[in-house]
Structures are given as structure tokens and as C-alpha cells.
Amino acid sequence: MTSHAAAAPAAVLPGAADIQDAVGRWLVFLGAERRLSGKTVEAYGRDLRQFLAFLTGHLGGAPDVAAVLALKPADIRAFLAFRRAGADVGSRSLMRQLAALRSFSRHLEREGLGVASAFSAVKSPKLSKTLPRPLPAEAAVAVTGVDTRRDESSKDEWVLARDAAVLSLLYGSGLRISEALGICRADAPIGDRDSVTVIGKGRKTRTVPVLPQVRAAVGRYLTLCPFALAPEGPLFVGVRGKALSPRIIQLAVEELRLALGLPASATPHALRHSFATHLLSRGGDLRAIQELLGHASLSTTQVYTKVDSARLLAVFDSAHPRARLHGGGRE
């Protein structure tokens, strides 16, 4: 899997030859040993390029391994401040960049090149605590319906069926868009096949149940699809028969959002949020929902309990007689 190193070729990296070589070996390690996805390896390589470019100006010359090992926490904080101010980068992106830098510093230590203590001494940027925004159940069902866009869309019937099948998997099984588009034709959940195995974050696999309505949507798409899909090829394809791009589904949801008058928070990923929130509101077990979503930590899933509590309080404020009696405020 050495092709991962191509995400950030050493020849285009700022810095001395030894740092370029170290970065190249690190990227290969991320792909081959850590088994990170190609996109993640590419993002980490980009983070290192930006950091080394900053150091070139910050230190007044091309940095080498010794210069990186000698950095102080103030140097790392200067880079993060530079990124936040110059590129208007948010806290979440800065957290990922700092994670990339820390990973690279640990790689230098593993290779016996020295200890880069400055990276672990810098605190991660604080994230604003925003809750996921699920769709109301009626809206989520409408988004996954093939009839919602039929009258207003110029797209072929099979394309509408394809989009509905993908969105049905996001809402009906709680999949990420990458997981749905990663299903191969041979594993299509149709007929009596009531589950599907997907590859999630960190290349971890999990098996999730597929509702009859979702299986019917996938089956309808396959009936209408004009292409002969190879068993080991992608289940969902674009108009040229190639693997479907996530951007196409994002655009489809944008059309649906306008047609249904939904807020900007109505995205493909919001369907996954809706899946978890609606299960929880109907008494779903939190541990079971964690497994269905593929969360490594229960604390990640627990955020949906806050979403449901917020929804219940909003209903209380708008509907409870005593809340209305006191101007919508709770006693």
C-alpha cells in the first residue's frame, strides 16, 4: 500500500531532504500499518505541507528534522494562530492539523530520530458544543422518497431511484454517505438479505440491519439501472456507469431541501443524525444505537440523548398548558 505516500510527494514538500524522507515514510506507515483511508492520508500530508511551509518563513529557512525536534510549544501555537487568522480555519480543522503534527512527531520518535515534546505540550483548540440537527420524521421520510422530486426533476427515473435508495440507507440504517457508496453490487441488500456489512471509519467493518422498505428501494434502483454492474464493483453508479460521487448525493439533497422548504442543516449526514435521534425517542437502547452507528465510544452516541432532551423541552414549551400560561417559559 505504498501508494498512500503519493498523497504528499517528498519532491513538493518544503524542507530539507531528511524531513522530506521522514514525511514520506510516515505517510506510507499511515496507509500500510494504521490502515487509514486514502483521503485521511492525503489530508495529513496536506497538513504537513502547510506546517513546513509556515516553518520555512517562521524559522527563516527550510526546516530539517533537527529544527522540528527543537521547536517550542510557542512555535506550534504560532502556526495554529497563523492558520486560524490567515485561512479562517475553524477549531475542528485545527484539531485535525494538530493531530497530524502529533502523529508525525511520534513517528520521528519511533524512528529513533529524537523526541519532539513541543507537540504534546500544546492544548487542542476548544470546539463549540453544537448538537446534531436531525430532521423531523416526516421530513426524513419525504427526503428518502422517490416521488418527492419526480414532478420537478429532469433526471432519469433510474437516477431518482438511485438517489432514493442511497438516502434510504442513510436514514434507514444510519450509514455515513461513504459507507453507503462503498457497498459493492454483490452485497446489495435486496430480497431476503436483511443486513449489509459496511466499512466505516478506521477501516472497521460492521453489519447493520436493512428494513424491508430500504431493501425495496435498492431493488427498484437495480431494476431500473441501465448498467450491467460487476459483482465486485460499486452498487451505486453515476450516469456514466462509474462509482457514484458523494457530491451527487449532496446536490440531490440540496434540491430536496429547496423543494420541501427544509433548513440548511438538512444534509445527507443529517439523515444519520435523524436515524439515531428517532430510534432513541422511540425507546432505542443507547448501546445498540452505538453499535449500529459504529461509534468507538459511547460518549459519542450520548450526544443524541441531549438532542432528544432538547426536542422534548421544545415540545413542552410550545404545547404544555402551564408553559403557555407563563409565556412559554418553564417553571
- Cell, residue 233: 464493483
Helix 17-32 × helix 91-110 angle, to 10°: 100
Catalytic residue among 77, 269, 311, 320: 269
In angstroms, rounded to a whole number, what is the distance separating the alpha carbons of residues 158 and 225? 6
Residue 201: partners with Cβ closer than 8 Å, 6 or more residues away: 176, 294, 296
Catalytic residue among 83, 185, 272, 278: 272
How many other CB atoms are found less than 10 A from the CB of residue 16?
18
Catalytic residue among 44, 171, 221, 304: 304
Residue 208 backbone dihedrals phi, psi, to 5 degrees:
-125, 145
In angstroms, rounded to a whole number, what is the distance separating the alpha carbons of residues 142 and 37? 33
What residue spans of 60-206 are helical by DSSP H? 65-69, 73-86, 91-110, 118-121, 137-143, 157-173, 177-181
In angstroms, rounded to a whole number, what is the distance separating the alpha carbons of residues 226 and 221? 10
In angstroms, rounded to a whole number, what is the distance separating the alpha carbons of residues 272 and 56? 42
Query: If you search the block for the grid coordinates 462509482, which residue do you land on?
Result: 243
DSSP 82: H
Catalytic residue among 58, 201, 311, 320: 201
What residue spans of 210-267 are helical by DSSP H? 212-224, 246-260
Say whether 272 is catalytic: yes
Say whether 257 is catalytic: no
Catalytic residue among 176, 185, 257, 278: 176
Say whether 304 is catalytic: yes
Say whether 176 is catalytic: yes
For 18-49, b where at least 16 C-beta lie within 10 A, e where not — what string?
Answer: ebbebbbbbbbbbbeeeebbeebbbbbbebbb
Catalytic residue among 295, 306, 311, 320: 295
Q: Which residues are catalytic?
A: 176, 201, 269, 272, 295, 304
